[in-house]
Homo-oligomer: A and B are copies of this chain.
Amino acid sequence: MTDSTSPDPGLDERHRERMQRKKAIVDAKIESAQAEGGLILVHTGNGKGKSSSAFGMVARALGHGMKVGVVQFIKGALPTGEELFFRRFPEEVRFHAMGEGYTWNTQDRARDVAKAQAAWALAREMLADESLGLLVFDEINIALKYRYLDVQQVIADLHQRPPMQHVVLTGRAAPPELIEVAHTVTEMGLIKHAFKQGFRAQRGIEL
């Protein structure tokens, strides 16, 4: 079947017919998807948007009156825009940033493991707090990749959480075990990046 793209007298009518078919399909899909429950979401891949998408969900959750917990596993010494912003709402957002980055900045594996474990201890507290409707474990996948954290322990703790709590886990190279237990997994693919065109990381975009 070909689909003419040049405007012609039948365009509006064909558009209507196509949209009617589409509406029927979408309605049927929505009808069959009625389950509720806390989701595990993973954002991985080499592209931009893994963390910012998680923080967009934080905004969305706050808009619905939910409370949110955030643990950032890798950010550097300077507070990011999202930290500066969400710290405005201490009653609604429990925000923990590890403070100093690890991996290529520290070159001290034992310290990195200790820091990641301390961050996970906080994450576990949040996973036991049913007043928190959404948790973000930002860049945790890096800690899993370098085995600073044990993926089976992380998964076991995730499965103990309150039934309606959502958890978003971000970072490149999500381990297959985590992808297996997640409900929604998105791979952010890099098609182009301003950095490769000589632009430094900019406030509001990457920072």
Kindly state the interface size class of chain A when it binds its partner: 35 or more
**A58 within 8 A of partner (CB):** yes
Let me know if A64 and B204 touch, CB within 8 A: yes
In the complex, A127 has a CB within 8 A of chain B: no
| Contact in complex: A64, B49 (CB < 8 Å) | no
User: Is A189's beta carbon under 8 Å from chain B?
Assistant: yes
Measured between C-beta atoms, what is the minimum distance from A136 to chain B in Å?
10
Q: Measured between C-beta atoms, what is the minimum distance from A131 to chain B in Å?
A: 14
Cα(A185)–Cα(B202), bound, Å:
16
Residues B19 and A187 in contact, CB atoms below 8 Å apart: no
Which B residues touch A106, using CB under 8 A?
19
Q: Is the CB of B204 within 8 A of A33?
A: no
B-contacting residues, A34-86, CB 8 Å: 34-37, 39, 41, 43, 45, 47-64, 66, 79-86
List chain B residues, Cβ under 8 A from A85: 59-60, 62-63
Name A155-199 residues within 8 Å CB distance of B: 166, 179, 182-199
Q: For the complex formed by this chain, how many copies does it contain in all?
A: 2
Residue of B nearest to A34 (CB): B200
The answer to whether A109 and B59 touch (CB under 8 A), given A39-B205, A203-B64, is no
Is the pair B184, A193 in contact by a Cβ cutoff of 8 Å? yes
Q: Shortest distance in angstroms between A123's beta carbon and chain B's nearest beta carbon?
A: 18
* Contact indicator A199/B81 (Cβ below 8 Å): no
Contact B83 A63 (CB under 8 A): yes
Distance of A32 from chain B, by nearest CB (Å): 7
Contact code string A130-158 (vs B, CB < 8 Å = 1, else 0): 00011000000000001100000000000
